[in-house]
Amino acid sequence: MLSAWVCQRKMAAAYGVDGLGRTTVVAHFRRCLLFGGSQAGSRGAPDGGCLEDRTRQRTQFGIGGQSVTRSLSNGDNSLNDVVIYTDGACKGNPGPGGWGALLRSPDGSEKELFGGEMGTTNNRMEMMAVIQALTVLKRPCSVTLHLDSQYVLKGITEWLVGWKAKGWKTAAKQPVKNVDLWQQLDHLVANGGHKIDWRWVKGHAGDPGNERADALANLGVDAALRK
């Protein structure tokens, strides 16, 4: 177990090994900006915002799900807004990899997450970034999710329905690659109650949110290499 570390804005990182022996690292940046005190409503207090304090609740994943993208069935228009940027990185493919996510609420509050593992692929890290970002949302939200992976974007918006109808097989009747992560992502999208606007952005093209997510993903690679 590696020790946590702090910086000027109370940045803390927790390191661990999951049940599959993969190293994961989650960083909590700018806690002084994240829903502190007793503020309420749209200011992002714990009872009113989308972002979850990961220092108090562990991430849990599930599998299954029924659909790809959907709005709330009850027509709720009072969803909190959150903007997410995600990215993955891999030094070699396969090789040591990392994922990163930036979450931003309308009041400017932010949460940055990163993690990494050895012996992975870039596609898996791209997927893990989205999974981790959606997992920290503690209530149904209106999400604008920016990603530079066509693999993840087309998978979740175009290919997933067909894969599931074929028993997680491709059109060529081959097993879907990364099926464990696709099932996790499907579960989060189908059962989280979120309204998600999936937006592709070109990577390494100067988009500030994408560049920050990329930097976080590379921190995840570095953390995996330090294990």
Task: Please name which of 220, 225, 216 lies closest in space to residue 84, comparing C-alpha atoms.
Answer: 216
Helix (H, G, I), strand (E, B) or coil at 31: helix
Exactly one of 28, 194, 214, 220 is catalytic; name it. Answer: 214
| Catalytic-labelled residue, pool 65, 148, 194, 220 | 148
148 flagged as catalytic: yes
Catalytic residue among 126, 146, 186, 194: 126
The answer to whether 69 touches 189, Cβ cutoff 8 Å, is yes
Catalytic residue (one of 44, 88, 97, 115): 88
Say which residues have a Cβ less than 8 Å from residue 48's Cβ, sequence separation at least 6: 40, 41, 42, 80
Please tell me which residue in 44, 65, 87, 192 is annotated as part of the active site.
87
Q: Is 126 a catalytic residue?
A: yes
Phi and psi torsions of 103, nearest 5° = -120, 135
* Beta-carbon count within 10 A of 127 CB: 26
Q: Is the CB of residue 107 less than 8 Å from the CB of residue 100? A: no
Q: At what angle do helices 208-226 and 122-135 cross, to 10 degrees?
A: 110
Residues classed as catalytic: 87-88, 126, 148, 204, 214
